[in-house]
Chains A and B, each alone.
Chain A
Amino acid sequence: MSRLIQLLALLAALVLAGCATSPANVAGSGTQLEMRQIQTRQYDTLDKSMTLRSVIATLQDLGFTIDQADADLGTVTATRLHEYTMRMTVTVVERDGQRISVRANARIDEDPVTDAATYQDFFVVLDKAMFLTLHKVD
């Protein structure tokens, strides 16, 4: 009986500690380089504007509403309200004067999306949109 109570107390402490308010997580979690690799895809094009157009089309197809877009900085921010709130920021940058790099960040409610498969799903949709845009299909 007393052992059970001890175990109960230990578990309660763990539960309380696990959910306790943590210090502001400004720097994020996970290794920087690994996350960049998961979140980034390179495209063999130099057309930043067409890439941004494809990104916007992709986000709209995925049910997002575009909050903000900046052609100069190559940034698109979007939100999807459906069962949960998902926010995405996608940046489009020219690399080495040879290709375009697209990086996507996603958060669901207050949690960052860190699994590679979810980003892979996003890039599968973007690949198709890029193909259609570069072949001038509306």
Chain B
Amino acid sequence: MSGASWGRHGLKECLSLLIVVMLGGCAAKIPESALRLPESTLDVRSIQTRMLEAPSETDILAATIAVLQDMEFNIERIEKPLGVITASKVTDADSASEKFGLILLDLFFGGNNYSTAQDDQHITLTMVVLPSLSRSGEYRVRITIQRVIYDKMDRIKVLERIDDAETYQRVFDNLRRSLFIQVGEK
């Protein structure tokens, strides 16, 4: 291949690459199903939701706040009329075990167990506690948890919603115990 023809060939490749960059690089990417219910909706909803009995709304909200404090979360916002409690915490994240074992340990025992940990894990948890619409004396509690893991350079490494049943079950177990203590103390 002569130098001239290679040059022309190379230029054409460059040109195609530029066109691709131009068309793809700046385009807004809106996924088609961004706001459609996924098939797993019902499963996820049942994992995240429990109906709990409590003497009053104040009791269940107080027990909820106490359980979040037990799990070392900071309460960020409470909107009582809508039953929304938002809490968060930052823990260490071990890059070797990024999935559920880690989130469980960090949720329940804080991040101090991981002396070898390298990354920061920002966990956000929202509880929505509302009186049942169909049964008095019962409250519908739905928890959602998500997390972002940042590496040492503060770059986002993992961005995810927590969907595993065991994590939620343990939070609800703690909440039941907290509610029991709350009612017993009165």
Contact = CB atoms under 8 A, between A and B. Distances in A.
B184 interface: no
Given A4-B12, A8-B11, A69-B82, 12 more contacts: A53-B82, A62-B37, A65-B125, A71-B82, A76-B82, A84-B31, A84-B159, A108-B29, A111-B30, A136-B133, A136-B134, A138-B51
Contacts, number: 141
Task: Choose among B4, B15, B33, B37 the residue with the greatest number of A CB atoms under 10 Å from its CB.
Answer: B37
B89 interface: no
B155 interface: no
B144 A83 contact: no
Contacts of B18: 8, 11-12, 15
Contact of A63 (B26, B38, B132, B133): B38
A8 B126 contact: no
Interface residues of A, number: 52
Interface residues of B, number: 54
9 contacts: A4-B11, A18-B25, A60-B142, A67-B124, A69-B84, A83-B31, A106-B35, A138-B132, A138-B135
B147 interface: yes
